[in-house]
Each structure stands twice: as C-alpha cells, then as structure tokens.
Structure 1
Amino acid sequence: GDQIHATVPNELRETYEEQLPEGQIVEINKFNYMKNTNEYRPVPHQYKIKFKAATEITPINDDAKIPRHKFNYIDFVDVPNKFEDRSLLIDVIGTLLEVKKITQTVRGKLYRVIELQNSRGESLTVTLWGELADQITSTTVPQGGTNVIILTSTYTNKINDNYGLSTTTSTNAYINLDIKDVHDFKKRAKLDTATKIEEENEVILLSQEEIMDKNRVTISELIELAKEGPPKNDAYTCEQKSKLSFIHVSHLSCGIDLSTLHMVSYNKTTTHRYRYRLGVEDYTGNTTFVAFDNVAYSLLNKTCNQLLELRLKDNGEKQIQTILEKPLNKHYIFQIKFDSFSYREEYRSYKITNVFDGTDSHQTIIVKKEKVEESDEDNLEGHAAKKMRKD
C-alpha cells in the first residue's frame, strides 16, 4: 500500500480526533490537497491532504488488503548520510538493548537515551524527548526477553562526532508490535538479549521561574565570561533590564542584508533556515544575540517557508518586515549559550537557546528598533537548532 501525509488544523482537532483512532480504516472525502514541500516529511509522497470543516469521514468494514501499519525503515549505516538531508523523517527498527535514566536539560526539557541494535549486531543511540521519554520505562518495557522497538518520524543528530537519532513531536514508539516486520526481524537477528534498564534517580524538575533565574548575568559579565574562555555553565540568562537595539535577519549564502532568510542547499534539496540577529544592550554594555530556527519561530510565530511564500504576494516584502519587527516593544527574557562566535573580539555574538515571556518579570529585555550597519559576521555560518513541529 501507499502512504500520504494528512494534516488537521488545530481549530478542527477536537472535531476529528475521535473519528480517527489509530488502525481504523476510513473513507475520507471533501479535503484539500497540495504539493508537500515541507522539510522532514513523515512519508515520501509528493502530495499531502489537509482537512477542512467540510471533510467527511466514514468508517468502513475491515479490509485485509489495507495494512494497519506501514514503515519506511532505513539501515543503521545510512543514518549519518541523513544528517544534512532534511527531506524526510526516519523510521527505524531494532532490538531495544538499553534504556538509560531520564534527564532534564538546562532549558527544562526531559529526555532519555536508548540504545538499539540491528540484526547484524550494530548499535544506534536514540534520544527520546518529552512525553516519549516518560513512556519508555521499566513499567512499559517487558522484562526477561528480547524486545523489538519501532520508532517513527525521527531525524539524525550528531553529538560529540557520533551520529544517532532524535525523536520529534510526531514520533511514535511500538514495542513488540504483532506484525510481519517484527517477526521477520527476530528471525534475522537470532538474539535473546533482555533489555537493560538503568535505575531511575529522582529527577528534580525546575520550574520556568527557576530556569529563568539560573545563572543570571549582566551583559558586561557575559562578555567577561567569554574573554575567560569556555564557561563553566551550559546556559546563562540576562539579569538586568535590557533592550534590543536592532533587528536584523541576514541571507548568509551571499552575506547581504535582505531582511530575509538563510537558504542552504543539501543534496539538491533547498531548505530554508532562520538566522535572526538582535542587538542587545543594558546599563552595563551591549552585544549581539542570534536566534536560529525554532527560537526565531518562537519570536515570530512564522516558519521560514511561510515568510518566503509571502515574498510572492503583492506587498509581500512589507508584510515580511512587519513580521520581523513583531518582537519590538515586547518584553522577553533570553537564555543564551556560548559558541565559537562568543569568543571573538569583533562581532561577538551569543546563541539564544530559549525565550521566556518577561511581561510579568521585574527583570526583562525590551525590544527596541534602531538602524544597524552590516558586518562581515553575516558571511559566517552558524548551526541551526533542530526541532520539528506538528502542522
């Protein structure tokens, strides 16, 4: 059977959620369809369908010709090749060898690392994020035998020069699913290895307020820390009342100030990525913060593709500029991280890793508009954070 990606707008979610239980065979009529140009598509079909208020769903009798599950597996050896390929998400199958304890990042996000093994005995590390990290535990993983896990809609990550997979908000996990794929895998693997589950420590979850207050520094302190070399902490937040003195988004591939987006070509596939540069100052000094994909999205509430589509419309450039200036005169608290640009004497910058609404805080960052001169930093490429979102 073939597959096609279908999306339901948020405002229609409650309408269709109960009508679309997993595994139910349905007939769908009166929907929109369009070319699927999104990054990280869950299936390779060139089109996708989109539900609308008039879409009709009719359950039909069981049809053995339609499989309940269909996956697009890739081999473990091909995982590194997908690091710069954003066209499709990855499905993978393997023996669940180890489940490590759950951990919280400095940004307050929960994650868990698991290790998979294929039928040739090769290993692969997968990072589970959010609710999925909390679902794969000693109480949900059968004990005393071999467990085969299928993970859908993952993407390749790279940590300390080692390639692995990370889950997305669209990822599903299936353990010992009763399908031919799993039975065939067990025959090929010929393994009888019980899953090792690391004992959980009590995770002390930090509240948003605690995360916002952690490692508070002024801008001058931030600069001094950079001059001292690699910092002791993973992330810092600005402590005093500050203001953003300019808004600047650059087109890195040619290094000119276009108030537009970073476009990169990977394996003949063009992907669009934010690089959003913000001048910051407080009573102690000034510097530059840079926001990449998901952080820029949290500030603007628009994807790169959505902004690029506006360029094709009448008055599109003006609409884009209005969106880019959306943070002006609003209050935020930024959490930042050091990267190679943080240690430069000229054109020093810090990567934004998280944004908090500072409206109710006595310590805030206020966005102000001011013209800025372009620098040669715009020719230097940064690494964009990767986070997938549901439609």
Structure 2
Amino acid sequence: MSKAVVGGVMETGLDDGLCFDQLEVGSSMSIVVMVCRSWDSDNVHGRYISTDYIFSDRNGDSIHATARSNVAHYFVDKLKEGCLYLLKNFTVVKNRPAYRILKDSQYMIELQGSTVFKKVSVDHGGFERYPFQIVQFEDLEVTNNKYFVDVIGYVTTADNVSTTSTGRRMLEFNLRNERGGHMAVTLWGKLGESFIAQKAKKAGVYTVILSSMTVKQYLGSLGLSSSSATLIIDSNNIPLLESFNASLRGVDLRAETQPARDGPHAVTTIAELLQSARQDKKKAVVFRNSIQITGIRTKNSWFNFTCTGGRCRKGVTRKDGSFWCEACDNAVYFPRARYRLMVDVKDMTGNVVVVLFDEAGEQLVKKSAKSLLDEQEQSTNSDDMVLPEALRCLIGGTYMFELRSHTYYQYGEYESFNCAQVLLPGSANYASPSSVDDILDPAAVPALSSPVKKAPQFGVVTPDKRAEKRSSNLDCTGTDSEGVPGKAQHGLSMDVKSGSDVGSEVNVVPGKRLKKVTGGEAHDPVEGTSQLIMDPLSEQEDDVDDKDSGGDSVAGTVGKKGVHTLLIRRMKSDLLAIRQRMP
C-alpha cells in the first residue's frame, strides 16, 4: 500500500488495502476506516465500561469496534466522526453473542493500548457515512438482548418524562411510519430529556432515526426500548431522512390522540386476574380495586439489604465477612434496607399473595424501611422483633392495589403478583370505596375505609432491674409506666438537671418527693447535687413503698434510715444506663 505524508496528514492509496470482508480472527494488517459514530457504553448498573465506534470501509461495509475503559482514553476525542484513519495493531474477534450492535456482522474490532491510528486524506468515495440497518415495523421481533435494531419514523405523541415505581426516569411516545404502522417507544434516563429538547427545536413534523434499540414485549404488545448505545438522529442532511420525509408527502399527518401504549384490559376481582394470568401471563390485564390484607408473611423477613452502587438494587449476600453484590461483583459497605413485604390479601372471589417492593411499600406504610428498622431496634416489645407495629396494624385493613398480570408467579402452595402501586385517595386511578361494595365481603370487612392506625406505643428505654417486673419512666411525677406511684423506684422520684452530668445531680431521700429549688430556699447536704426540696410522700405512696421494700434489705432497712451510699450508687448507675440507651 503506497503512502506519503503531506502537511502532517497521511495520503495513501487503497488499491491493496484490507476490507472488512477479508478480516479473520487474528488479522494484523493495516486498514483505512471512516468513523461513522461513537458513544460511551454503560452496563445495566450505570457503570462506564467502554467507548464504542461504528467503522465503515471503502466498500461501504460496517463493523463494530470497541475500546475498553482501561484504554479508551487513547482514542476519546481523537477519533473524530466523519474522518478517515489508518489503523493497525488492533485485534479482530468474533462478534458478541448478545447485545450485538450489528446483527449480521461476523466479527468486531477491539482497540488496544498498542493500537496505532493516523488520520489520512483519501477520496471519500465508497465510505458510508451513515450505515444504518433500518428494520421496518412489520418485521420487528423480540430481540431477547441478542442484538440492536435501527428504526425510522415520525413522532405523533410525546408526553413529559415520568418516573417509574423503581425510580427510573422514562419517556414514552408513539413512532409511526409512512404506511400507517405505529410502535410504542420508551427512552430511559437522560435520553428522554435529550429527546424532548431536540424535538422542541424542530418545527412541524418531527422525523427521527433511533439507532441501537431493543425490541421487547410488554403487556402483550411489542415495543422499542433504548439502550446505552442508542443514538437519536434528526439531521435533515442525512440522505435516509430526506428520502423518508419525501415518502410522507400525501400521508395524513394529523396529530394522533391515541396513547403511546394501548391500555390493558381491566378486571375488578382477584378471580378474574388469576384466570387471565394462568392462561397467558403476557396478556395485558390490570387489576385496580380494594382488597383486604389478612396477614403478612415473615418467613423471608419483611425487608432486604440491597446494593447502593449506581442504579443497582439487587439484594446483597455475605462474602469474606462483608456484604457482597453478585451483580456488581463488589463489596457493599453501606447496604440500603428496602421493603419486600409479602402480604396475604382477599376479596369475595379469592385470595392471593401480593409482594410490595420498596416504593410500593413506602406508599402503603408511609415510612421508609430504614425508619422501621430504627424503631424496631429501640422497641422493648418482643412482637416488634418479628414484625414492627406499623406493619402489624395493616392487617385487617382494606387498601386499593394495582396488580398486573405479567408479574404472576406460582410457588408451591401460593400464587402471587407484584404490586405496581398503592392507589391513595386523590390519585388519578383511585376509585371510591363505595364502588367496590360487591367485591369485598361485607361480613369480613365492615367498613371499606382503611382502619384508624394507632400511633405505635414504644416503651421508654430503661436499664435492667434486678427483681422488678415493671419498667419506670423517668419523669417528675413519681409514677411508673403503668401509673403506680413510686413502686419501681422504692418511693423515690428523680429530677435531673438539664445539661448536667448524670449521676451527680440527684439527691435521694427515702419517703420524700424531690423538686428543684428555684432560689436559695434549701441546702442539699450531698456535695455536687442541685438544690432540692424534699416533700413528704402521701399515705398511699408511703404504704406502697413499705409493702414493696419489706423484703429488700437495702430499701427496707438502710433506705428507712437515710441516704445510704449503696442506694446512691445504684441510682447513679441506673441513670447512667438510661442516658446511654436514650436516642
């Protein structure tokens, strides 16, 4: 291959140059390519993995090239789109079995740290600047993540970017072709916002090429979904778009009023939902109605610890003494608690298990899973260790759930659906409870409104006592948590000076109620304590104290004689323990 360098740009002849159809695994000859397009690729968790390219050769053929993240900096911003380069020392490998950019290409190129490239100046004849592989709507089929497709059409409806129940941003719209066929399109993440911005700059009919899309089946119909390689192309200078616009002449382009997706068939009973899901779970069926929660399953707990890396929400396991995410293949040092509630529900026609993940769980409970865990750790109620009270009080209540047939799952003796969302009063799809009187069993559910939730009664954290059956609240009333005066503290009441050192601010005398002194009305004989007035206890309180302290050598003997050192130490120790355990 003859070559000469003129002005820093290599001029080369292509008579003996290598073409893509001559490539084989292990090829090491030089090749001249045109860079058609480039993009950064992320994995499903949002982590950058490579910079990818589409190259074309002098025969107009195309090939996919990739530079992994550890060497991509050699090529980023140096290989310019629309320019020609001489490449050598690259690696030819077999095309990927999945996520193929070019479906029918047998090989692909891997750029390495040793790859050398030089910009060249040759006749652009033969090089294809926009090598799209357009697939007509009628020929689309589910790709199963094996390859990507390119489509062309004009946009009829494009709503605002919305947020899914899992927190992902998405844009849905309809794409139509010149023959009247239409396809629902979903753009994920920032791509949807970019699409809205590009469309706003165009007047009239908005025609576009969507490159590297996947075809999926959702709720019984095909749809296009974006990938990390997707590119939105709307330039009027592209020949393919020019010819498509010309084909639209004479076509009725009036604004379409139909939504991006056909609405699923609605059912109102659990029996109808189960029947449809058992026959064909891919059929678009949605259930929106009030059902009663009859129980919450705790065999697999009510929450999961999940990964917090990027967009990953997978559950974590244990490995080498730490949490580990198998999907990210990384240690997770700060896992997040997320709901995974499995609730038994019923109506008059049947019963089923409904699984509520994090967002739906928060809609139902109105608290995060982390806040419930914090309350669970502070609670002294043994029942809360299995199921927090905020979840227990859901049992017996009726709530409006949205369930979809494609989430149907059968395991052993039960059948389940995932909850898409909990419909609250005031939401768009919420129906008045009076409209479902014929669905819920009046005997089982007297009222269709959600039960009044009682505020969780969490006991005040107290230190361990040696022979006491009740815990005492730290207050100025001299009563314990059940209203019995002074029994748990042997007839003593405590007053702690705010902001002072616990254990050195309490003066204790048996048979007296302690109060703060506002002035210099009394003098406390114990050094280092705040001034207190000792009022005599009532006869009732004194009787309780005498009965309770009869069998206690400290409270019954020493306590009656005055302030004893052992009693003071015990009270100081209890107060220190309270301070350490209080939030």
Distance (whole Å) between structure 1 residues aligned to residue 162 and residue 76 of structure 2: 31
Within 5 A, what are the aligned runs for 1:240-251?
A: none
Give the deviation of 1:123 after TM superposition. 1.1
- Count how many residue pairs are aligned between Structure 1 and Structure 2: 246
Whole-Å separation in 1 of the counterparts to 2:91 and 2:98: 20
Which runs of 5 or more residues in structure 1 are unaligned? 198-207, 243-282, 286-336, 354-391
Is the contact made by 2:87 and 2:118 (CA closer than 8 Å) also made in structure 1? yes
> Which residue identity is paired with 1:147?
Y
- 2:164 equivalent to 1:41: no
Q: Name the amino acid aligned to 1:48.
A: M
CA distance in 2, matches of 1:59, 1:223: 64
Alignment of 1:120-199 (within 5 A): 120-138=179-197, 140-190=199-249, 191=251, 193=253
Query: Which residue does 1:222 correspond to in 2?
Result: 342
- Per-residue CA deviations over 1:3-57 (Å, capped at 9, x if unaligned) read 1111111111222111123222222211111111321311121001101101112
* Cα pair 1:229 1:343 within 8 Å, conserved: no
Q: Does 1:68 align with 2:136?
A: no
Tell me, what secondary structure is at the counterpart of 1:14? Answer: helix
Q: Quickly say closer, same or farther: Cα 1:222–1:284, change in 2 above 3 A.
A: farther
Q: Which amino acid counterpart does residue 131 of structure 2 have in structure 1?
A: K
Shift of 1:178: 1.1
8 Å contact 1:35–1:47 — kept in the other structure? yes
State the alpha-carbon separation in 1 of the partners of residues 233 and 246 from structure 2: 18
| In structure 1, distance between residues paired with 2:416 and 2:111 | 43
Q: Tell me, in whole angstroms, the C-alpha distance in 2 between the residues paired with 1:56 and 1:152.
A: 29
Cross-structure match for 2:76: 17
> Separation in 1 of the partners of 2:203 and 2:256?
10
SS of structure 1 residue aligned to 2:243: helix
Counterpart for residue 443 of structure 2: none
CA–CA distance in 2 between the matches of 1:194 and 1:234?
42
- SS of the residue aligned with 2:241? helix
Taking only aligned residues, the RMSD between alpha carbons, in angstroms, comes to: 4.0
CA contact (8 A) 1:28 1:56 kept: yes
CA distance 1:192–1:87, shift in 2 (3 Å): same
| 1:214 CA drift (Å) | 9.4
CA contact (8 A) 1:216 1:239 kept: yes
- Greater relative contact order: 1 or 2 (C-alpha under 8 angstroms, separation 6 or more)? 1
Separation in structure 1 between the aligned mates of residue 123 and residue 256 of structure 2, nearest angstrom? 39
Q: Which runs of 5+ in 2 are unaligned?
A: 1-59, 258-307, 314-334, 362-367, 374-384, 388-404, 421-583
Partner-residue secondary structure (3-state), 1:11: coil
* CA positional deviation for 1:152: 0.8
Which segment is superposed worse, 222-231 or 14-23?
A: 222-231
Letter in 2 for 1:118: N
Tell me the residue number matched to 2:118: 58
Work out the CA distance in 1 between the residues paired with 2:188 and 2:342.
Answer: 30
AA aligned opposite 1:70: P
After TM superposition, the score normalised by the length of structure 1 is 0.54
* Partner secondary structure for residue 60 of structure 1: strand
* Alpha-carbon spacing, 1:53–1:213, altered in 2? closer, same or farther (3 Å): closer
Deviations, residues 59-112 of structure 1 (Å, cap 9, x unaligned) = 222643212211001110112xx2155442100011122222101122221110
Distance (whole Å) between structure 2 residues aligned to residue 59 and residue 77 of structure 1: 41
**Cα distance change of structure 1 residues 128 and 225 upon mapping to structure 2, 3 Å threshold:** same
The match for 1:93 is 152
Aligned to 1:381: none
Secondary structure of the 2:409 match is helix
TM-score in terms of structure 2 length: 0.37
- Judged with a 3 Å threshold, the aligned counterparts in structure 2 of structure 1 residues 48 and 113 are, in CA distance, closer, same or farther, namely same
Asked if 2 retains the 8 angstrom alpha-carbon contact of 1:8 and 1:50, the reply is yes
Task: Provide the secondary structure at the position in 1 that maps to 2:212.
Answer: strand
In 2, Cα distance between equivalents of 1:154 and 1:42: 9
Tell me which moved more, 9-18 or 58-67: 58-67
Question: Measured at CA, do residues 146 and 232 of structure 1 come closer, stay the same or move farther in structure 2, by a change above 3 Å?
Answer: same
1:341 to 396, 409, 424: 409
Residues 138 and 173 from structure 1, CA distance in 2 versus in 1: closer, same or farther, beyond 3 angstroms?
Answer: closer
Q: CA deviation at 1:140?
A: 4.3
Letter in 2 for 1:61: S
Question: Quick one: distance in 2 between partners of 1:168 and 1:143?
Answer: 24
Structure-2 separation of matches of 1:57 and 1:192: 49
CA contact (8 A) 1:97 1:115 kept: yes
Counterpart residue type for residue 345 of structure 1: E
1:147–1:176 CA contact under 8 A, matched in 2: no
Any idea what the Cα deviations from partners look like across 1:145-199, whole Å, max 9, x if unmatched?
12210011111112221211101000001013412211111121214748889xx
Distance 1:41 1:56 in 2: 25
Alpha carbons 1:146, 1:195 under 8 Å: kept: no
